[in-house]
Amino acid sequence: MSNPETPEKTVALTGFEPFADFRVNPSWEAAKELDGKIVSSFTIKSFRIPLVYQEIKPAITRIVDRENPAIIISLGQSYHPLISLEKVAINLADLTESTTLYNCKTRPQDETLEKQALNAYFSTLPLREILRDLRKNHIPTEISYNAGTFGCNQIFFHLMHKINSEGSKALAGFIHVPCLPSQAAQLRKQGRRIPSMSQGTITNALEIAIKTTTFTAESSNMGAKSY
């Protein structure tokens, strides 16, 4: 296991595989487009996460242990019309009332994600600065205080629990992105109306968010000591 006190100049970016009847997931489409890109001297490494209840924690744990990144941003798909910068992850999985399940068909009910953990963790990404920079670039963005109780909140919570329990100096958090136009068109045929955002806008938003976060990392004590 890498020493969390000396993180690498790497941004680990995760996106989920498609779920439900979709053939794509905008979170992974954006993540893979940024894979290998260098932003402010930080190298982006992208990873696809299975939307399988028992596999999410091992997947994010392996990524953090192997890559020891200075920044970890997990992404997921929402049905909102804007980029949602998630503030808080809660120690709960619950799909009791949901019509959408994990790809393994699991339906957790009032399930505690981590038995020996806090009830909630906050993102350590510079959310206000990201919000400012995205809005400066005319990208509709919000800070959200509800990441749900599905796979997105799950990976967010496992990530933040690991970071906090190890005393890692990494900046970590979760961002929801809107559906793609192709997904909106697919659901429109089924009589549902959902907002969408172009792949180019989503990818541009994430690159701006990463650039803002690298500036914070470089400016922090972590950056001064490690780099």
How long a stretch of residues is the chain? 227
Confidence bin at 6 (pLDDT 50/70/90) = confident
Decide: helix, strand or coil at residue 40.
Answer: coil
Query: From the candidates 29, 33, 67, 152, which is the catalytic residue?
Result: 152
Query: From the candidates 8, 29, 176, 179, which is the catalytic residue?
Result: 176
Q: How far is CA 173 from the centre of its chain?
A: 6
Specify whether 179 is catalytic.
no
The yes-or-no verdict on residue 220 having pLDDT over 80 is no
Name the residue ranges covered by the structural domains of the chain: 8-226
Provide the pLDDT for residue 3: 60
The yes-or-no verdict on residue 223 having pLDDT over 80 is no
Rounded Cα distance between 192 and 174, Å, is 27
Provide the pLDDT for residue 7: 86
Residue 12, amino acid: A
The yes-or-no verdict on residue 1 having pLDDT over 80 is no
Whole-model pTM: value is 0.94
Which of the following CATH numbers is that of domain 8-226: 3.40.50.20, 3.40.190.10, 3.40.630.20, 3.10.28.10? Answer: 3.40.630.20
β-sheet bridge partners, residue 14 = 47, 74
Confidence bin at 219 (pLDDT 50/70/90) = confident
Higher pLDDT residue, 224 or 123?
123
Provide the pLDDT for residue 144: 98
Provide the pLDDT for residue 4: 59
- Report yes or no: 11 and 45 within 8 Å, Cβ to Cβ: yes
Query: From the candidates 86, 158, 161, 179, which is the catalytic residue?
Result: 86
Provide the pLDDT for residue 227: 35
Pairing of the two strands 42-49 and 8-16: parallel
Decide: helix, strand or coil at residue 15.
Answer: strand
Rounded Cα distance between 156 and 126, Å, is 16
Give per-residue pLDDT as tens, 76-135.
Answer: 999 999 999 999 999 999 999 999 999 999 999 999 999 999 999 999 999 999 999 999
- Report yes or no: 197 and 180 within 8 Å, Cβ to Cβ: yes
Using CA atoms, how far residue 213 sits from 5, 40, 51, 101, 106, in Å, is 18, 10, 26, 32, 34
Confidence bin at 73 (pLDDT 50/70/90) = very high
Using CA atoms, how far residue 35 sits from 43, 80, 139, 206, in Å, is 8, 25, 22, 12
Specify whether 158 is catalytic.
no
Q: Which residues contact 90 (CB under 8 A, 6 or more apart)?
A: 119, 120, 147, 149, 153, 157
Terminus-to-terminus CA distance in the chain, angstroms?
20
Q: Which residues contact 152 (CB under 8 A, 6 or more apart)?
A: 16, 74, 76, 77, 78, 86, 174, 176
Rounded Cα distance between 73 and 55, Å, is 18
Specify whether 152 is catalytic.
yes
Give per-residue pLDDT as tens, 175-185.
Answer: 999 999 999 99
Residue-averaged pLDDT of the chain: 94
**Exposure class string for 165-195: b at 16+ Cβ within 10 A, else e:** eeebbbbbbbbbbbbbeebbebbeeeeeebe
Give per-residue pLDDT as tens, 12-67.
Answer: 999 999 999 999 999 999 999 999 999 999 999 999 999 999 999 999 999 999 99
